[in-house]
Amino acid sequence: MQRLTAEDRLVLWPDRVWPQDIGALLVLDGADLLDGSGAVRIDDLRRVIAGRLHLVPRFRQLLVTPRRGLGRPLWVDDPRFDIDAHVRVAPLPAHPDESELLECVAALRRRRLDRARPLWEMWVLPGLPDRRVGLFVRLHHVVADGIAGVATMGALLDAPGARETIPPWTPAPAPSARELLIDDLRSRIRRAGSALGHPRAALGTLGTVRGELQELLADDGARTTTLNRVVGAERRLALARADMPEVTALAAAHGATVDDVLLTVTAGGLRALLAARGELSDDLVVRVFVPVTLRPRGSRARARGNLIGQMVVPLPVGTADPVARLEAIAAETTRRKARRRPSLATLFHGRLVSLVLLKLMARRPVNVETADVPGPTEPVFLAGARVLEVFPLLNLVGTVPVGIGALSYAGRLGIMLTVDREAVADLDVLAGGLRRDLAALLGPAAQTPWEAHRESGRIAESHL
């Protein structure tokens, strides 16, 4: 019986107000996905995806919440699973530019995933120049966190020329009320025995949680800005790009990591945004949430569900020099990464404790999140179509209206800025500041948009 873990259930807590979907925008070479008229070979794509779903069981399962007394929510096979409802086409306007592609993705994200179906979908977005195709993939965060999301998508990708056959699949029957009751009782007994049998481990966890609370509630010089607003329903998106060899070389030269580089350019974007709003000062600090995976490195390729901690990093937004900012951030994150971290489920254990903690955190607001996820180092394919670029889309919640995600893929780093449309109506200022810092750190060609490459006749494979 596949019950939700405590970490998975934590994801469901804010879902009614702020949909907890994560996803990615992919750009593919559409030569093998489009017919002669430019129409998507949607039946062929569905056949390929269906042929690999045995590798991703959650994509054919429903999330079910039993009635009171029968335990935690669980996954059960969907007896009416229909691939056509999950792999669909949404044509783009004629001759779309990047902003129109992103508006289409934002509009699709606005639609709620249907809880009566497995919690994922793929939207094929034909119409890009040079027979390229956009692909917006999203799934509910309860299915996977960032690391598990990459592993899940990896299971659906193939080698060039691969041919899929659909393995037979028969949905298992849902458990009865009696089976659910017995399973819940056994689970309660196991948890009680574990707590009594490992008191030293419980004390160690308590100490780890205390350290986490001290970081969350620390007075680190940050102050409240106009970003401290409750997130609404609408989003705006922007992209940036960089070459991974240049990013890793930069990080190595300054004792930093790729995540530190992302935090540095995030601070550069915030610097431009808050300067335009008249809120910049030399000592300005903005706090940012940084998820920390708790998975052993060797298990990440098979990761499922959620298992993350949370790190809070004070960004020296007031520091103008991006190199000095990078070195300061690297020193700070090195110190903070040395600590053991509990899972978020341990930190937010129980509704009453969670509400008290949230009230305390409101005194030290965090209004920005970032996430850097490693992806495939070699090119991958979907139904024979080469994936050219990948950009991760983060979910926003509470009073965090800015999310900046990065994913490395085949020598490139794709960055997507996801913001609340009302809180950050001036997204172009934020994105412009981030891109300028990338250019200052890596060189002006680091993040040239694909439109400029196409217009100059240099849409080379080295860029893609």
| Cβ atoms of residues 232 and 420 within 8 Å | yes
CB-side neighbour CA atoms (13 Å) of 13: 18
Please answer whether residues 340 and 208 qualify as being in contact, where contact means their C-beta atoms are separated by less than 8 angstroms: yes
285 torsion bin: left (phi>0), alpha (psi -120 to 50), beta (else): beta
Tokens of 241: 């790009």
Residue 391: CB atoms within 10 Å: 26
Q: How far apart are CA 73 and CA 64, in angstroms?
A: 6
Each residue of 224-246: pLDDT tens digit? 899 999 999 999 999 999 999 99
- Name residue, tokens 């009230």: 359
Kindly report the number of other CB atoms within 10 A of residue 282's CB atom: 9
Structure token digits, residue 54 = 């045995």
- What confidence score (pLDDT) does residue 442 get? 92
Alpha carbon distances (Å) from 375 to 148, 272, 340: 11, 29, 25
Distance CA 439, CA 447 (A): 7
Candidates 353, 306, 311; CA nearest to 9 is 306
The tens-digit pLDDT sequence of the chain (464 residues) is 899 988 888 888 788 888 889 999 999 999 889 998 889 999 999 999 998 999 899 999 999 999 999 999 999 999 999 999 999 999 999 889 999 999 999 999 999 999 999 999 999 999 999 999 999 999 998 888 877 778 888 888 875 555 667 788 999 999 999 999 999 899 888 877 755 555 444 434 445 555 556 666 666 777 889 999 999 999 999 999 999 999 999 999 999 999 999 999 999 999 999 999 999 999 999 999 998 877 666 655 566 677 777 889 999 999 999 999 999 999 999 998 887 766 766 666 655 555 556 666 566 688 999 999 999 999 999 988 999 999 999 999 889 999 999 999 999 999 999 999 999 999 999 999 999 999 999 975 455 444 444 443 333 332 22
- Residue identified by tokens 């994936």 is 387
Q: Comparing C-alpha atoms, which of 74, 13, 88, 76 is closest to residue 45?
A: 88
Give helix 258-276 / helix 427-442 axis angle, nearest 10°.
Answer: 130
Q: How far apart are CA 464 and CA 462, in angstroms?
A: 6
Residue indicated by tokens 């086409």: 89
Which residues, listed in sequence order, are joined to residue 133 by a DSSP beta bridge?
Answer: 28, 126
Q: How many other β-carbons are positioned within 10 Å of the β-carbon of residue 199?
A: 9
DSSP letter string, 396-450: --TT--EEEEEEEETTEEEEEEEEETTTTTTHHHHHHHHHHHHHHHH-TTTT--H
Q: Which domains does the chain have, with CATH numbers?
A: 2-177 (3.30.559.10), 199-455 (3.30.559.30)
- Distance CA(21)–CA(139), nearest Å, equals 6
What is the DSSP secondary structure assignment for residue 91, as one 8-state letter?
P
Sign of the dihedral defined by the CA atoms of residues 187, 188, 191, 194, in that order: negative
Residue 287's SS3 state is: strand
Find the length of the chain: 464
Sign (positive or negative) of CA dihedral 38, 39, 43, 48: positive
166, 163, 162, 167: which is closest to 380 by C-alpha? Answer: 162
Which tokens go with 75? 């996954």
Q: How many CB atoms lie within 10 A of CB 403?
A: 24
Q: What is the DSSP string of 46-109?
A: HHHHHTTGGG-GGGGEEEE-PPTTS-S-EEEE-TT--GGGTEEE-PPPSS--HHHHHHHHHHHH
**What is the pTM (predicted TM-score) of this model?**
0.87
